C-alpha cells in the first residue's frame, strides 16, 4: 500500500517536460521543512491505495507520462515497486525527490529530478550529495533560488560537480520571493546552459489551487 496525497491529470509545470500533459501522483509524507514549501498539505493528508489502484488511475487517464512527486516519494519503500509497475505498463516516469535520501537503484528510463537545497530553504545541511554521482544523462538537478546567496551556492555546486557536462541543470525562482527576470539576468551572466525553470502551472492556474 501507498500513502497517496492526491492524483490528477495536469500540465507538467516544470523541468524539460514543462507543458506536457501528465498524471500527477503526489505521495504523502516529507522529511524536510523547506521555508519555501508549496505543498505542506502533503505531509499529513493522504489516502491508502494499492499499487494496482494507482496504476489503474494512470491507465484510465489516457496519458502516458506520470510524475511521481510529494512530499518525498522515496520515503515510502513501495514507491520503487510502483515505478517498476508503471514502466512495465508502458508509462514514461518522472521522479521528483528532495535530494536528502539515497537514490539507490532507479530503473532505466526513469527521469530523476533531484533537488539540491540551497541555504535559503533552511535545509541545505540535509543534502545527500552522493546522489549527484549517481545521476544519468537523462536526469536533471534543480535548485530553488530565493536570493543572490542561493544563486552563488547553486553555481558553486554546478561547477564543483561538473553538472553542466553530465545532466540538465534547472534554476527555479522561489515563487513570490525571487523575481524571474532577476534570476534570468544572473543566469545570462554565467554564459552557461542553465535552464530558467518557471512553475508554469502557477501562471496558468491560481498558485493556491489544488489539483493543478
Residue 19 is assigned to a structural domain of this protein: yes
Residue 3 to residues 25, 33, 46, 58, 211, Cα–Cα distance (Å): 11, 19, 6, 16, 17
Residue 212 is assigned to a structural domain of this protein: no
Residue 40 is assigned to a structural domain of this protein: yes
Residue 21 is assigned to a structural domain of this protein: yes
State the CATH number of the domain containing residue 198.
Answer: 3.20.20.70
- Model confidence at 93, pLDDT cuts 50, 70, 90, reads very high
Write the pLDDT tens digit of every residue in 104-113.
888 888 999 9
Range of the domain at 121: 2-204
Residue 121 is assigned to a structural domain of this protein: yes
Residue 210 is assigned to a structural domain of this protein: no
CA dist 45 and 28 (Å) reads 7
Give me the number of domains the chain comprises: 1
pTM score of the predicted model: 0.94
CA dist 166 and 95 (Å) reads 18
**What's the confidence (pLDDT) of residue 211?**
59
Per-residue pLDDT at 212 exceeds 80: no
End-to-end CA distance of the chain: 24
Residue 127 is assigned to a structural domain of this protein: yes
The mean pLDDT of 17-26, rounded to a whole number, is 96
Residue 99 is assigned to a structural domain of this protein: yes
Amino acid at each position: 500500500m501507498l500513502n497517496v496525497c492526491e492524483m490528477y491529470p495536469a500540465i507538467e509545470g516544470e523541468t524539460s517536460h514543462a507543458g506536457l500533459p501528465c498524471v500527477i501522483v503526489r505521495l504523502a509524507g516529507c522529511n524536510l521543512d523547506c521555508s519555501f514549501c508549496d505543498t505542506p498539505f502533503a505531509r499529513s493528508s493522504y489516502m491508502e491505495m494499492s499499487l494496482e489502484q494507482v496504476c489503474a488511475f494512470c491507465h484510465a487517464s489516457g496519458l502516458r507520462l506520470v510524475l511521481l512527486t510529494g512530499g518525498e516519494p522515496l520515503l515510502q519503500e513501495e514507491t520503487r515497486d510502483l515505478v517498476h509497475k508503471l514502466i512495465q505498463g508502458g508509462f514514461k516516469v518522472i521522479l521528483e525527490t528532495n535530494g536528502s535520501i539515497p537514490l539507490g537503484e532507479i530503473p532505466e528510463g526513469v527521469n530523476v529530478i533531484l533537488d539540491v537545497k540551497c541555504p535559503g530553504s533552511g535545509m541545505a545541511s540535509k543534502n545527500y550529495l552522493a546522489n549527484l554521482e549517481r545521476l544519468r544523462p537523462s536526469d536533471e538537478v534543480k535548485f530553488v533560488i530565493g536570493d543572490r546567496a542561493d544563486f552563488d551556492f547553486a553555481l558553486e555546486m554546478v561547477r564543483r560537480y561538473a553538472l553542466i557536462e553530465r545532466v540538465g541543470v534547472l534554476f527555479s525562482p522561489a515563487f513570490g520571493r525571487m523575481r524571474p527576470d532577476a534570476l534570468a539576468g544572473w543566469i545570462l551572466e554565467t554564459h552557461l546552459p542553465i535552464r530558467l525553470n518557471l512553475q508554469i502551472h502557477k501562471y496558468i492556474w491560481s498558485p493556491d489551487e489544488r489539483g493543478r
